[in-house]
Chains A and B, each alone.
Chain A
Amino acid sequence: MRKYSPILLLFILILFPIAVRDHYHQHLMILVLMWVVIGSGWNVIAGYTGQVSFGDAAFFGTGAYTAGLFVTKLGISAWWGMLFGGIAAMAIAFPFGWICFRLRGAYFALATLALNEVMRHIATIWESLTDGMVGILVMQTFVSKVPYYYIALGLAVISVIGVQIIMGSKWGYYFVSIREDQDAAESLGINTHYYKMLSLNVAAFLTGMAGALFMNYMGFIDPEVVFSLHDISIMAILVGIVGGVGTLYGPVVGAFVMVAVHEFFRTGFFGFFKGIAALTGSDMITVFAKYVMQAHVLGFGILVVLVILLLPNGIVGDWNLIVKKIFPVKTREVTS
């Protein structure tokens, strides 16, 4: 069962746009797939290698701007950005990692946070290149959402399989050994600086591609949107930890949960409360529904606090714990 579930999942995802014609749900799924890519990237550097990054938006934004600038400055298709966006993000990651990987743990996290902000300022101030806060505007290639969906799906599959291959190789073992004990890894002769760099560049490449996808799909970016600490960097972390750090399918689950929860709160449980209010005509429920809808970020915050407290390794990482809590009887059967 376990062995075939990824294939089953992929099968469902391939059939999804054929089964669900509704643009709204297709759009949400595209966002989920985009977050799978970003979350996988974050997971490589933070989850597997243990170097928590608070600056994913720096790579995401670089990818998005690369795609955008291809159109505005070079006049070629923004789709080239899918490849070059990743490479440009690596071009940022390389010198940054070179300099900052001598920092450890929390200090490295702070440095990534600083990188995030510096990149945002550069994109804002360098008006002659980026047009500053005016942003970059690109015409969408397709009217239908289906092509975007499959491109996003392709990207998500590439990133999950890519991460799987990397983590199954020698690199993967080195990454994990750095996370577990950097000094021990060093003393065993692993060039930790080199492997941390590799890990960061893989993460940057994936995140940069996701950024380019965002540019192509949304058609508009400005520094506040793509270099946002809150909406990109922190969100990437949330996708990672809610799903499960250091697990292959953690980002997949995390992306789905985060987008769903966000939409769930934003629409007031998909109009559930509004519906009840309209049925019963109660003003109190209307007011309550309004509060629920306004509280989606609060809901996020509480979710984060609860997940860290109760499921420190995320949904996938603590899956056995969840199963045990919900089905105490069944697990006893299994264990006995």
Chain B
Amino acid sequence: MKRLAVVACVFSALMFLGFTAVGPVLADKIKVGIVLPLTGKLAKFGEIENKSFLMAVDEINAAGGVNGKQIDLIIEDTTGKPDVGRSAIEKLISQDKVIVVGGGYSSSVTWATIAVAQQRKMPFLVNTGSADRITEQGWKYIFRLNPPVSEYPKAFGSFLEDVAKDVKTVAILHENSLFGQSGSKKFVKKCKKMGLEVLIKEGYEAGAIDFKPLLVKVKAKNPDLVYMISYIMDASLLMRQSKELNFNPKLFVGGAAGFTLPEFHKNAGSASDYVFSATLWTPSVPYPGARQYYDKFVAKYNTPTEYHGAEAYAGMYVIADALKRAKTLTPEGVKEALAATDMMTAFGPVKFISYGKKTQQNRLPTFLVQWINGKLETVWPKDVSTRKYVYPVPNWNQR
């Protein structure tokens, strides 16, 4: 028994050291907690956000921090699972004693963590979780920077009304994810409102090898508009195979981020030409700092970033701004300060307002972008466009 006891004692002593060692070194810093999926299936996006948070906090600290105090960012891995996300935020609140939490990423993890935040009276700034009901609970400690999924196709709607008036029939393809399922439902409603006929609406499991059976079926129905909610690789496969099948609707429109990333163009090649996409953010949006953020990120990490990164980067600045204005550096003080936020970020203007069923929700415009000659151009709304849209789109064999 003795040997085991010795081993156990040494071990627990080491652990205790681990617990306490961090304490004194960081005593005069402001602790901010972030929960992100750094491992597991969602790690790719978690990593982009992680880098953006770190980049933003480095900039803020280098510029003198918050009223002379440095921010200490404590990033916890959620592994993309709600129960682990919950462990992570409980640890941040109980052990690390942070005064504000951000991040969350996927809607399921975000939900599990904000429920804890609200109960424990800890301000939480959601920057990515896009399920509508996150801000529909009337929770006073939860703020959301990004628009909910239902608002993504806003700009596209006005484009249909003003420019593409000859579009009458619609086909909707979506991945069976939260984003795909709720986004497609909202789009069906929107189509009904605008008097468009939905010929087919079909979900698929992300990661298919071959979309041809689905695409020939859609092609046979001959829709004017194909609206797709897909992530990069499915998106590029859908476009490549549409080209292979010589399928020519009047418009191909992407309803999610998959269609705006450089990897989409790289993988789809010429099949990405003239594809439209609804988006919240690209480096070319008319916000101060958007392009700089992109360039700085690429220079620092040598890999492209996307709108998730911009959300995280802006989120960090919003938190820092609230910390600056907070009357007391307590969760309560930060919550009051966050509620009064009114600032400009690389992701757009941030102000937490109530509208519809939502409370403390930031309202942002959305954009329509189009791939023209291998470049992603903002084409709608007109007043912020970087280039005139190409419509009608030429057929595949006439290019």
Q: So, do A and B actually touch in the complex, CB under 8 Å?
A: yes
Residues of A within 8 A of B (CB): 22-25, 27-28, 31, 121, 124-125, 127, 132-135, 137, 140, 143, 214, 218-222, 224-225, 231, 262-263, 266-267, 269-276, 278-279, 293-294, 296-297, 326-327, 330
Residue of A nearest to B181 (CB): A132
**Does chain A have a CB within 8 A of B158?**
no
Q: Is the CB of B178 within 8 A of A133?
A: yes
Instruction: Tell me the residues in window 17-47 of chain B with beta carbons closer than 8 Å to chain A beta carbons.
Output: 17-22, 25-26, 38-40
User: Which of B76-84, B242-250, B266-274, B348-356 lies on the face that meets chain A?
Assistant: B76-84
Q: Is the CB of B182 within 8 A of A231?
A: no
Residue of A nearest to B81 (CB): A231
With a cutoff of 8 Å between Cβ atoms, the chain A residues found around residue B86 in the complex are 27, 218
Residue of A nearest to B39 (CB): A294
Q: Is the CB of A272 within 8 A of B15?
A: yes
With a cutoff of 8 Å between Cβ atoms, the chain A residues found around residue B21 in the complex are 271, 275-276, 278-279
Q: Is the CB of B79 within 8 A of A296?
A: yes
Instruction: Tell me the residues in window 90-146 of chain B with beta carbons closer than 8 Å to chain A beta carbons.
Output: 90-91, 93-95, 107-108, 111-112, 115, 119-120, 131, 133
Q: Is the CB of A133 within 8 A of B83?
A: no
Instruction: Tell me the residues in window 314-359 of chain B with beta carbons closer than 8 Å to chain A beta carbons.
Output: none
Q: Which of A24, A220, A262, A272 contacts B91 (CB 8 A)?
A: A24
**Does chain A have a CB within 8 A of B385?**
no
Residue of A nearest to B78 (CB): A266
Residue of A nearest to B180 (CB): A133
Give the docked Cα–Cα distance between A133 and B372 (Å). Answer: 34
Give the docked Cα–Cα distance between A21 and B6 (Å). Answer: 28
Give the docked Cα–Cα distance between A7 and B188 (Å). Answer: 59
**Does chain A have a CB within 8 A of B192?**
no
**Does chain A have a CB within 8 A of B284?**
no
Q: Is the CB of A222 within 8 A of B108?
A: yes
With a cutoff of 8 Å between Cβ atoms, the chain B residues found around residue A218 in the complex are 82-83, 86, 112
**Whole-angstrom distance between the Cβ of B332 and the nearest chain A Cβ:** 17
**Whole-angstrom distance between the Cβ of B14 and the nearest chain A Cβ:** 6
**Whole-angstrom distance between the Cβ of A272 and the nearest chain B Cβ:** 3
Q: Is the interface of A mostly helix, strand, loop or mixed?
A: helix
6 interchain pairs, CB-CB under 8 A: A140-B115, A220-B115, A266-B77, A269-B18, A271-B22, A275-B17
Given contacts A135-B108, A140-B115, contact A270 B178 (CB under 8 A): no
**Whole-angstrom distance between the Cβ of B155 and the nearest chain A Cβ:** 24
**Does chain A have a CB within 8 A of B87?**
yes
**Whole-angstrom distance between the Cβ of A141 and the nearest chain B Cβ:** 11
Q: Which of A220, A266, A272 contacts B112 (CB 8 A)?
A: A220
**Whole-angstrom distance between the Cβ of B78 and the nearest chain A Cβ:** 9
Q: Is the interface of B mostly helix, strand, loop or mixed?
A: helix
With a cutoff of 8 Å between Cβ atoms, the chain B residues found around residue A132 in the complex are 176, 178, 181
Given contacts A127-B181, A269-B15, 8 further A-B contacts (CB under 8 A): A28-B87, A225-B108, A266-B79, A271-B19, A274-B18, A294-B38, A296-B39, A326-B4
With a cutoff of 8 Å between Cβ atoms, the chain B residues found around residue A221 in the complex are 108
Q: Is the CB of B84 within 8 A of A266?
A: yes
Q: Is the CB of B90 within 8 A of A23?
A: yes
Q: Is the CB of A137 within 8 A of B111?
A: yes
Q: Is the CB of A125 within 8 A of B203?
A: yes
Q: Is the CB of B178 within 8 A of A222?
A: yes
**Whole-angstrom distance between the Cβ of A328 and the nearest chain B Cβ:** 10
With a cutoff of 8 Å between Cβ atoms, the chain A residues found around residue B395 in the complex are none
Q: Which of A27, A272, A276, A297 contacts B39 (CB 8 A)?
A: A297
Q: Is the CB of A293 within 8 A of B22?
A: no
Residue of A nearest to B18 (CB): A272
Give the docked Cα–Cα distance between A137 and B177 (Å). Answer: 16
Instruction: Tell me the residues in window 34-82 of chain B with beta carbons closer than 8 Å to chain A beta carbons.
Output: 38-40, 76-77, 79, 81-82
**Does chain A have a CB within 8 A of B1?**
yes
With a cutoff of 8 Å between Cβ atoms, the chain B residues found around residue A327 in the complex are 1, 3-4
With a cutoff of 8 Å between Cβ atoms, the chain B residues found around residue A274 in the complex are 18, 22
Q: Is the CB of A134 within 8 A of B182?
A: yes
**Whole-angstrom distance between the Cβ of B276 and the nearest chain A Cβ:** 25
With a cutoff of 8 Å between Cβ atoms, the chain A residues found around residue B79 in the complex are 266, 296-297
Q: Which of A23, A121, A275 contacts B19 (CB 8 A)?
A: A275
Q: Is the CB of B176 within 8 A of A272?
A: no
Give the docked Cα–Cα distance between A143 and B81 (Å). Answer: 21
Q: Which of A25, A220, A269 contacts B82 (CB 8 A)?
A: A220
Given contacts A125-B176, A220-B112, contact A275 B22 (CB under 8 A): yes
Q: Which of A23, A140, A222, A266 contacts B93 (CB 8 A)?
A: A23
Max chain B CB contacts within 10 Å: which of A23, A214, A293?
A23
Which 3 A/B pairs are nearest by Cβ-Cβ distance? Answer: A272-B18, A275-B21, A24-B90
Max chain B CB contacts within 10 Å: which of A28, A272, A276, A330?
A272
Residue of B nearest to A298 (CB): B39
Q: Is the CB of A137 within 8 A of B39?
A: no
With a cutoff of 8 Å between Cβ atoms, the chain A residues found around residue B82 in the complex are 218, 220, 225
With a cutoff of 8 Å between Cβ atoms, the chain A residues found around residue B14 in the complex are 272
With a cutoff of 8 Å between Cβ atoms, the chain B residues found around residue A137 in the complex are 111, 133
Q: Is the CB of A140 within 8 A of B119?
A: yes
**Whole-angstrom distance between the Cβ of B123 and the nearest chain A Cβ:** 17
Q: Which of B17, B84, B93, B94 contacts A272 (CB 8 A)?
A: B17
Residue of A nearest to B94 (CB): A24
Give the docked Cα–Cα distance between A297 and B87 (Å). Answer: 16
Residue of A nearest to B203 (CB): A125
Give the docked Cα–Cα distance between A27 and B82 (Å). Answer: 12
Given contacts A27-B90, A266-B84, A297-B40, contact A124 B22 (CB under 8 A): no
Give the docked Cα–Cα distance between A91 and B210 (Å). Answer: 36
